[in-house]
Structure 1
């Protein structure tokens, strides 16, 4: 007589088949750099095919019928070759990422970030261990991907040291680092201005004068961080860890890293680094206070009802990336000299060089993204898709909340196959931002919806670059752990994030709570 298949085993079988399908489809996709090259070629061919077609849709900027430019024409191809370098150098997110990483690279390689994380987690009461870990994981976003290699393995270490299941610690940290990647705990990350530059470029397809504030989602992402911490706390303690109780820890724990207390040199370095950071913050705050502060926007650039420090034209807003650079470079250097990890200025330069060496792959991707966006925007295809798409959605007559929900779901699906937040938004922004503007939705709200969808499924896809590394972290404690193990652990987080984070955005929109600085919910076509 055939034994009935336990429900949990049956669910694992369905989940495994689904993951196998996702992995097969994802493995057939080309590398992101090659993907954008192929998309650029597709835009060229499509522009050639549509260049002779007369469209009734009107360009909202000029009022004239939309005309598609043939990118395969001789003058277009020669312009492409002549402008290739300037297009690449003018790709705004490239400078944003590289400048921010110069400062963050020093803070990481001198040991400042590592020491700060270890100190913060070592003084946390056991009953608050989970929310503190998730909070630190969310805060690690200021260092871009540093959380993957620093916070997530430390999550396993501190949970194991506290007598709890180490994979639960890894899962909680993974939830904060990746599941809440678009959340920011008060401190803006380099992701904020990077996404804003894509959003602004896409919005300017329809409105060349529109400027997006780099902190346009800051209030929403800060409140979101509190939601991420609450989700991580509840799901870890009430759902994930009880289910992991049956999973035996059989790794060679004698060889595992330990949550070692800071040495005397590290404590001195951390103290003086934080002092330097605090002094810099106070001096910066004092420089903002005078009415004549050069950080303020000129009076004629400040709309009625706005603060001269908070408008996009304010030098302080245009200096967000530079401030991230300085506020991590300074404590990183001070920590290095006091703790002894830096001997001369050459060590600081070497740290910057090492951080730039790790950005080589991003630079390659950025080159192809820049060329694709230049062709896509210059061809007129983005304007055509936005106008026709908006007309289609208007004809459907869907409530706006359903349109926002659809954007979140679509982003979450794309997220299963393209792990890079900047690569996805580079692909989606030129289509979605102008389309939503035609429906009266501001670029700020569209970007916020993207950020929700971008985070909620990252923790489930084996195609995310750091996913295999996290499986290795799990195998340090449980030898049999694999992709299925990690995915099954992270599914409750993904479900909770998908539902509650979407509801939070809809609540912001429904009650008119500001999304960020200089942000709006509606766009009125000129």
Structure 2
């Protein structure tokens, strides 16, 4: 499927791939950044700056991290720096529960049932919606929803590559749009809060600070992907022959009666869990409320229990499905599921180690505060409207995303710069995080450096043997451009209307009232 458009896209992305392949692994990038922070702290520690630290009201002082005392302190705290790294516990606890739901088969069965029950006329939006929902199970969308979408489109007489493209757009292009809270919410929030505390040590950021905006964005992403799939992508594919080996084309298999019964019981278990939680929260004397009876304050136990709740709401139905379907025969099978989930997080743990050391050094050196204050002064001198500044953050993030795929890794690097800097311009950490998440999502589907991109190419080759990187890029480029532009406009309009970003979120810093 070679066209003029796909040819120039392929050439451009080939250059991006060459440059991107020369970058070190994100874990090594954090180590390099750590060394750079050490060096800069030593070089700048003897310089007097006029910038006033808002935390102290005094001139910013860069602390030398290469003195004997500083190095001794660093070595003595290295273990606790790592174990105290907020995102580490957040992600691992959530993944223990999600891992049981995923490896027991509960999530895959639920997604199959949702897609199987969808009318043909609503197939595209349902595929995209299910792809978005799959974010709650981390990588389940890449390994399940995308290939399954191709199977269902093909079974319904539609072009399978169109189904794969629609699902890929939902899973990856709309990565940060979801009306169901997931582990990515507290993960990014923890980085945002750490970055904001460079300027305001007492500031607290709610894990669901972008939830309302993300929920509303779900409708936008579904609409964009629905229109492009049916009106642009599939018409382009009408002359593309499905010439894959029939033996390689997966067949859509219905759930067995036993699996159907297990799915029903597991779903009821999840709904009962949600109902029980609501019943506990409703009474004014609920132990999940704070001392003033509020549910959404930071002191409320329910706000501090979001990650454990995610753990339980996936663990319990996963266990029920596993034993009723026969996937589990002993309790050891459940533990094996958790073990597999942790094995999948092994790379993240390594990355988190170096990230924790970098974040700690960056904060202790005061370089973050200096950069934020000086950067804010430059932005202030440009006198750019706040909306223009936010658009710049979005597009810069989308560009960086072409080279560094990990959402958490990028935000760990960019957050300590963006968040404090924009706080100096009276833009809240909540809005800055929303802008980052938007830019981070939009370019996922056009970078071969994204770990699952080659896998999606393989999915396509099952149906069209000649599919290559350029083919997939030509399919996904319209989605990427439309999502980036229209989602940016959507955020600006959402902001302009003053609609709430999320729980305890604001658009300005410091927040009014």
TM exceeds 0.5?
A: yes
Whole-angstrom distance in 1 between the partners of 2:4 and 2:463: 26
Q: Could you tell me which residue of structure 2 aligns to residue 126 of structure 1?
A: 120
Superposed displacement of residue 75, structure 1:
1.1
Pairing 1:360-375 to 2, within 5 Å after superposition: 360-375=346-361
- Tell me if structure 1 keeps the 8 A contact 2:5–2:474: no
Whole-angstrom distance in 2 between the partners of 1:516 and 1:127: 33
CA-atom RMSD, angstroms?
Answer: 1.3
* Of 24, 38, 41, the match for 2:35: 41
Superposed displacement of residue 16, structure 1:
2.1
In the alignment, structure 1 residue 58 sits paired with structure 2 residue 44: no
Pairing 1:465-476 to 2, within 5 Å after superposition: 465-476=451-462
Superposed displacement of residue 195, structure 1:
0.5
* Of 255, 262, 266, the match for 2:255: 262
In the alignment, structure 1 residue 96 sits paired with structure 2 residue 90: yes
- Tell me if structure 2 keeps the 8 A contact 1:437–1:525: no
* Of 319, 333, 340, the match for 1:347: 333
Q: Could you tell me which residue of structure 1 aligns to residue 129 of structure 2?
A: 135
In the alignment, structure 1 residue 205 sits paired with structure 2 residue 205: no
In the alignment, structure 1 residue 18 sits paired with structure 2 residue 12: yes
Look up the SS of the partner of 2:209 in the other structure.
coil
Whole-angstrom distance in 2 between the partners of 1:106 and 1:97: 14
- Tell me if structure 1 keeps the 8 A contact 2:6–2:471: no
Superposed displacement of residue 253, structure 1:
2.4
Report the CA distance shift for 1:484/1:54 in structure 2 as closer, same or farther (over 3 A): same
In the alignment, structure 1 residue 293 sits paired with structure 2 residue 286: yes
CA deviation string 1:30-84 (max 9, x = no partner): 0111111111111111111111111000100101110111111111111111111
Q: Could you tell me which residue of structure 2 aligns to residue 168 of structure 1?
A: 162
Q: Could you tell me which residue of structure 2 aligns to residue 107 of structure 1?
A: 101
In the alignment, structure 1 residue 412 sits paired with structure 2 residue 406: no
Whole-angstrom distance in 2 between the partners of 1:456 and 1:280: 34
- Tell me if structure 2 keeps the 8 A contact 1:50–1:68: yes
Superposed displacement of residue 416, structure 1:
0.4
- Tell me if structure 2 keeps the 8 A contact 1:105–1:352: yes
Superposed displacement of residue 14, structure 1:
2.3
Superposed displacement of residue 498, structure 1:
0.8
Superposed displacement of residue 13, structure 1:
3.3
Superposed displacement of residue 9, structure 1:
4.1
Show structure 1 runs of 5+ residues with no match. Answer: 1-7, 300-306
Q: Could you tell me which residue of structure 2 aligns to residue 390 of structure 1?
A: 376
- Tell me if structure 2 keeps the 8 A contact 1:153–1:473: yes
CA deviation string 1:275-294 (max 9, x = no partner): 11111111111000111101
- Tell me if structure 2 keeps the 8 A contact 1:198–1:429: yes
Q: Could you tell me which residue of structure 2 aligns to residue 5 of structure 1?
A: none
Runs of 4+ in 1 over 2 A off after TM superposition: 8-14, 253-256
Q: Could you tell me which residue of structure 2 aligns to residue 309 of structure 1?
A: 295
In the alignment, structure 1 residue 282 sits paired with structure 2 residue 282: no
* Of 308, 323, 332, the match for 2:309: 323
* Of 211, 226, 229, the match for 2:222: 229
Q: Could you tell me which residue of structure 2 aligns to residue 455 of structure 1?
A: 441
Superposed displacement of residue 137, structure 1:
0.3
* Of 162, 178, 188, the match for 1:195: 188
Look up the SS of the partner of 2:478 in the other structure.
helix
Q: Could you tell me which residue of structure 2 aligns to residue 509 of structure 1?
A: 495
Q: Could you tell me which residue of structure 1 aligns to residue 80 of structure 2?
A: 86
Q: Could you tell me which residue of structure 2 aligns to residue 253 of structure 1?
A: 246
Report the CA distance shift for 1:394/1:379 in structure 2 as closer, same or farther (over 3 A): same
- Tell me if structure 1 keeps the 8 A contact 2:93–2:307: yes
Whole-angstrom distance in 2 between the partners of 1:350 and 1:335: 15
CA deviation string 1:163-211 (max 9, x = no partner): 1111111110000000000011x21011111111000000000101100
Whole-angstrom distance in 2 between the partners of 1:125 and 1:331: 27
Whole-angstrom distance in 1 between the partners of 2:65 and 2:200: 22
Q: Could you tell me which residue of structure 1 aligns to residue 509 of structure 2?
A: 523
- Tell me if structure 2 keeps the 8 A contact 1:214–1:312: no
Q: Could you tell me which residue of structure 2 aligns to residue 4 of structure 1?
A: none
State the TM-score, normalized to the length of structure 1.
0.96
CA deviation string 1:254-299 (max 9, x = no partner): 3322221110110010010011111111111100011110111122
Pairing 1:215-226 to 2, within 5 Å after superposition: 215-226=208-219
Look up the SS of the partner of 1:253 in the other structure.
coil
Show structure 2 runs of 5+ residues with no match. Answer: none
CA deviation string 1:330-361 (max 9, x = no partner): 00000011111111111101111111111111
Whole-angstrom distance in 1 between the partners of 2:72 and 2:457: 48
